[in-house]
Structure 1
């Protein structure tokens, strides 16, 4: 099969475009947020990593709930079985601190620490973090 001299540059351009889109994609596509009762938000991620959970709740808070970037998001429950998607793991967040929280705000994004918090803006910025899973 013989290719025209225009087909090769076109194929290369398409390949570069697809690679660029993949490289610039953030963690937004790797998680899904589900509203629960009492204002709780459950985030299910395709890979259990802190940044992906924070990204999911930050993205949801900004785009779906129109929260301000300075509003705080708190870990309500660390990784556990999902209520929204049985058989999957999820982290539950709230805009109110849980009664059984850590009491202080550690300098970490660890979602296993109940009461840990980030601002909505900080959570949304985790969407751009490179993760161990790619």
Structure 2
């Protein structure tokens, strides 16, 4: 009887854990197709992983892009066209004109031409962020 009660108390305590420990960054951003195949990602707050997660999730689940398809930063954090009053990062599946697209080892969304594969971008959904 005591063992059942302990188990019940433990299970009940799980209800009060913060949901951030169970989920990734997917719920912290929204992606919008804006024009010419570009995707604008609006995030709850400005953090590289959340923007990449938003575009990776959208590319994989909505557009059925392959995991090795490259995603490029076209425009760093700037006012959103899809959600006025918010900040957004714009991505595309081709390099932006005139941008340096050499090997990059950063997820910095302020670097125009910076890129990750869809798979790499999707994996940022599981990264811990400063907020949780």
Q: Same fold (TM over 0.5)?
A: yes
* 8 Å CA contact 1:28, 1:59 repeated in 2: yes
What is the TM-score normalised by the length of structure 1? 0.88
Determine which of 29, 32, 36 is the counterpart of 1:31: 29
State the distance in 2 between where 1:83 and 1:40 align.
12
Distance apart, 1:77 and its partner CA? 0.3
Deviations 1:49-82 (A, max 9, x none): 0000000000000000000000000000000000
* 8 Å CA contact 1:55, 1:126 repeated in 2: yes
State the distance in 2 between where 1:112 and 1:25 align.
26
Distance apart, 1:9 and its partner CA? 6.4
**Unaligned ranges ≥5, structure 1:** 1-5
2:108 is matched with which residue?
A: 110
State the distance in 2 between where 1:11 and 1:26 align.
26
Q: Secondary structure at the match of 1:55?
A: helix
* Correspondence list, 1:60-99, <5 A: 60-99=58-97
* 8 Å CA contact 2:95, 2:101 repeated in 1: no
CA RMSD in angstroms, aligned pairs only: 1.9
State the distance in 2 between where 1:11 and 1:72 align.
47
Distance apart, 1:104 and its partner CA? 1.4
What is the TM-score normalised by the length of structure 2? 0.89
Q: Secondary structure at the match of 2:17?
A: helix
1:3 is matched with which residue?
A: none
State the distance in 2 between where 1:22 and 1:106 align.
29
